[in-house]
Structure 1
Amino acid sequence: MSDIFKEVEDDLRRERLKTLWDRYGIFVLGAALLIVIITAGWRGYEAWETNRDRTAGDTYLTVLNEVEGVSTAGSADTLLAFAADAPGGYGILAEFRAATILADAGESVRAADLLNTIADDGEAPAVYRDLARIRQGQVLLDAGDAQAAVDVVSGLAEDAGNPFYASAQELMGLAAYAADDLSGARRWFTAVTEEVGTPPGVRARARFMLALITQTAPEADAAGTTAEEAN
């Protein structure tokens, strides 16, 4: 008797499943198909993106070889033409290289403007934007515009958590030195040497500048020492 009841229950179960499948089966199949399509599409996009980046990298190396050792505006324009359609990372690298070529070619204004564009690009990674500020400050300082360099890097020089903090302080010191503010230069270079996280190269240059200030203008060194003692 129990077998009969079991068979009846099985029949009822199969009937219910059939009813459910007839009602919702199309949706189950649709969802499964959608998952397959999305997965295949995503894998295809990843493959396309990888191929695009690989192609962009190869093209970038080719462009670099073309402009190697040629510091002309034309070489910079070649890099900028590549950057216009390159994926983000390669485009920014090309723009940095173009800015360096422009600066070497004596076109400091164009170089500084290009670096300012990178620094103001809200879609660029923060580290690239800050590096652009540092490089822009260097270009402006080399061009003889110390105040403009200060305006560009002063914010970074006051942000102890920024990875370019020491480099910005060094530029502030160089800008002060270029403006004949030897006491100010001494303060900045001293801060660079005393900062725990200062890179060895930056620290060594700061010590050299402090020695130069002491040798050429001992009165500035004495004034700085007196001010520190007073504090």
Structure 2
Amino acid sequence: MALLPNRNTQTAEAKAEKKAAEDDVMVREVDEAVRKDQFENFGRTYGRPLLGLLVVGLLAFGGYLFWQSQQEQAMEQESETIVAALDQLQAGNLDTASETVAPLVAEGEGAVKASALMLQAGAAAQSGNSEKAAELFGQVADDADAPEAYRGLARIRAVAVRFDDMPSAQVVEQLGSMAKPGEPYFGSAGELVAMAYLDQGNTEKAGALFGQIAKDDTVPESLRGRARQMAGMLGVDAIEDVDEVIEELSGPAGQAPQAAPQGAQ
């Protein structure tokens, strides 16, 4: 005959479980109360500073977006100004072209200012004022804020517009470091330096430099052609591919070469 569970034992176990459940509820309530109190203390201590930081961050982000928008609008306006000046320059309105970009020269920076100065220098050169053109090109060449590509080109143009009046030694001094294979403006700088060597009577250096230009695939073909002719006149063989040169001189399918258009270099 099986023994029945002791009722007193069951009652004790039930009370123990109930007590444990009540204790667990009490612990959770106390924990939540402590957490709430800590949160309120944290909010009272750090709430306002954090809110202030959040507001400052939002204002800063909004200010950045506004500044970026203003920058983009300014860049669009500057681009439109330069394009308008180029149109005037191509139309032969040299003074109007220079006046159009005058505000960019006065207030612009970096590439914008350099572009405006280069345009004004080009207008001065076209009008025959080589002295003013050289001065404006020189400003770009000496501007540390201008991109290096602009500075190099401006330095070459400054020498080119007054080449006839410059001592040959000065040409070599100013462009000698650029007249080397691998340099960005090797062809243009090298041609001017080689001509300066000719003025000095140094045909050996001139011929060697013309030969290097003629063999450099990175140099425009029109410039390579001139260099090839000059090198040949100075006794330097600058022809690597005879068939290619013959094809260039005779035109496609062996046709006779056509006359160069007037003004072509």
Structure ID, larger Rg: 2
Aligned residues: 213
| Equivalent pair of 1:118/1:132 in contact (CA under 8 Å) | yes
Alignment of 1:1-231 (within 5 A): 1-70=23-92, 74-75=95-96, 77-79=98-100, 81-82=102-103, 83-141=105-163, 143-145=164-166, 147=168, 148-158=170-180, 160-195=181-216, 197-211=218-232, 213-214=233-234, 221=235
1:202 partner amino acid: L
2:230 partner amino acid: M
Q: Which has the higher helix share?
A: 1
Distance in 1 (CA, whole Å) between partners of 2:187 and 2:98 is 32
Distance in 2 (CA, whole Å) between partners of 1:109 and 1:173 is 23
Normalising by structure 1, what TM-score? 0.81
Higher relative contact order (CA 8 A, sep 6+): 1
Normalising by structure 2, what TM-score? 0.71
| Equivalent pair of 1:140/1:146 in contact (CA under 8 Å) | no
In the TM superposition, what whole-angstrom CA distance separates every residue of 1:70-127 from its partner, at most 9, and x where no partner exists?
375x356425523223453332212112212212222111111111111110111111
1:190 partner amino acid: G
Distance in 1 (CA, whole Å) between partners of 2:131 and 2:61 is 49
> Which 10-residue stretch deviates more, 114-123 or 171-180?
171-180
Distance 1:35 1:54, change over 3 A: same
2:42 partner amino acid: L
| Equivalent pair of 2:190/2:210 in contact (CA under 8 Å) | yes
| Equivalent pair of 2:98/2:119 in contact (CA under 8 Å) | no
1:56 partner amino acid: E
Distance 1:139 1:153, change over 3 A: same
Distance in 1 (CA, whole Å) between partners of 2:209 and 2:223 is 12
Distance in 1 (CA, whole Å) between partners of 2:108 and 2:207 is 44
Q: Structure 1 stretches (4+) deviating beyond 4 angstroms?
A: none
> Which 10-residue stretch deviates more, 178-187 or 115-124?
178-187
1:203 partner amino acid: R
Map of 1:229 onto structure 2: none
Distance in 2 (CA, whole Å) between partners of 1:152 and 1:69 is 33
Distance in 2 (CA, whole Å) between partners of 1:79 and 1:154 is 35
Distance in 2 (CA, whole Å) between partners of 1:91 and 1:203 is 32
Aligned to 2:112, what secondary structure does the other structure show?
Answer: helix
Q: RMSD in angstroms over aligned alpha carbons?
A: 2.4
Distance in 2 (CA, whole Å) between partners of 1:149 and 1:108 is 16
| Equivalent pair of 1:79/1:95 in contact (CA under 8 Å) | no
Aligned to 2:177, what secondary structure does the other structure show?
Answer: helix
Distance in 2 (CA, whole Å) between partners of 1:79 and 1:184 is 44
In the TM superposition, what whole-angstrom CA distance separates every residue of 1:32-81 from its partner, at most 9, and x where no partner exists?
11110010000000000111111122222233333434375x35642552
Q: Percent identity?
A: 24
Distance in 2 (CA, whole Å) between partners of 1:133 and 1:98 is 15
| Equivalent pair of 1:134/1:153 in contact (CA under 8 Å) | yes
Q: CA deviation at 1:183?
A: 2.8
